[in-house]
Amino acid sequence: MGKEYRVSIATLTDYHLQDFIRCPYQFYVYHIEKISTQENWRKMVQLVVNQVVSRYYKLPPVSQTTKKVMELIDEHWRVMDVRHFESKIHYYTALAKITDHLIQSLTSGKNEYPPLFLYEKFHMNIDELGTDLSLTLDVAEWSTNSFIIKKYLIDINEEMNVLFIHMISVFCQKAFGRLPERIEIISLMDGEMNKYIPTMNDVSDGLEYLNIIKNRIQDPKNYLKTDCLTVCNSCS
């Protein structure tokens, strides 16, 4: 009606923030207007990755092999529809890259102990944000002095790295009273792993960062299309 209004944010979730950073316009269509559109390949593949990683870590160490990773990928990839991808070449390229880099990441070291957390979703109120914060911890492994957080993503950019470093730092300090010894963010399309050692500065910086993102989400004037053609190919 031509009036100014702000979007109410009850909870900041990691997957909402990912979508907003990737494309605010898509975020508005999917999460604010609730317009259902065809699932894009990235979300579908991320679901397969989550299932494969979760089942792999639940196996006894003797069964955590390259062959088992391939079997798990084959089992879960069967539900994938080639029509979700840009082309058949894109479909098979994604399958090959995800398989290769998942094998490299999962079998690079022996897991003697079960993970501390495995795809567990945490939810808590953050006073400094004036809202709740929801975060799924993919894999948290014990370390010598603390724990290591691993995040498995299809692809990442610098903004996505910053988001998860800040979210994980803030959440772990507020929820557990300590920071992880290390944060590892794995990009499965290119095999890149970003390792980061958080400090208390990341907590204060993270609160400031999340407040900025929250204010941007609340203001509909920020819901503009991105210039990224790879994102817009799947846009409504």
pLDDT digits (tens, 9 = 90+) for 185-214: 999 999 999 999 999 999 999 999 999 988
* Tokens, residue 102: 């998942």
> Which 8-state DSSP code applies to residue 132?
E
What is the per-residue pLDDT for 12? 84
Both 167 and 79 in one domain: the answer is no
Asked whether 148 and 182 are in contact (CB, 8 A), the reply is yes
Instruction: State the amino acid at position 99 in one-letter form.
Output: T
- Share above pLDDT 70 across residues of the chain, in percent, rounded to a whole number: 86
How does pLDDT run across 141-159, given as a tens digit for each residue? Answer: 988 788 999 999 998 888 9
Determine, yes or no, domain membership for 199.
yes
User: Does the structure show a pLDDT above 90 at 68?
Assistant: yes
| Beta-bridge partners for 144 | none
Both 62 and 149 in one domain: the answer is no
User: Does the structure show a pLDDT above 70 at 27?
Assistant: yes
Count of structural domains within the chain: 2
Q: Answer with the one of 58, 77, 112 that is the final residue of a domain.
A: 112
Domain that holds residue 155: 117-220
| Ranges of H-type helices in the chain | 14-22, 24-27, 41-57, 66-77, 88-106, 158-176, 200-218, 229-232
How does pLDDT run across 70-86, given as a tens digit for each residue? Answer: 999 999 999 898 988 98
User: Does the structure show a pLDDT above 60 at 103?
Assistant: yes
Q: Answer with the one of 74, 90, 112 that is the final residue of a domain.
A: 112
Q: Answer with the one of 112, 146, 168 that is the final residue of a domain.
A: 112
Identify the residue with better confidence: 47 or 113. Answer: 47
Identify the residue with better confidence: 156 or 227. Answer: 156
User: Does the structure show a pLDDT above 80 at 225?
Assistant: no
Question: Considering only CA atoms, which of 50, 84, 88, 56 is closest in space to residue 71?
Answer: 56
Both 104 and 128 in one domain: the answer is no
Both 121 and 162 in one domain: the answer is yes
Q: Would you place residue 28 in the very low, low, confident or very high pLDDT band (cuts 50, 70, 90)?
A: confident
Determine, yes or no, domain membership for 100.
yes
What is the per-residue pLDDT for 38? 57
Q: How many residues does the chain have?
A: 236
Q: Would you place residue 3 in the very low, low, confident or very high pLDDT band (cuts 50, 70, 90)?
A: very low
Mean pLDDT, the chain, whole residue set: 86
Q: Would you place residue 23 in the very low, low, confident or very high pLDDT band (cuts 50, 70, 90)?
A: confident
- Lowest model confidence (mean pLDDT) among 31-45, 49-63, 168-182: 31-45
Give the CA distances from residue 212 to residues 17, 122, 167, 208, 209, in Å, rounded to whole numbers and listed in that order: 12, 22, 13, 6, 5
How far apart CA 191 and CA 186 sit, in angstroms, is 7
Both 125 and 210 in one domain: the answer is yes
3-state secondary structure of 56: helix
| Ranges of H-type helices in 79-225 | 88-106, 158-176, 200-218
Helix or strand (DSSP H, E) at 36? none
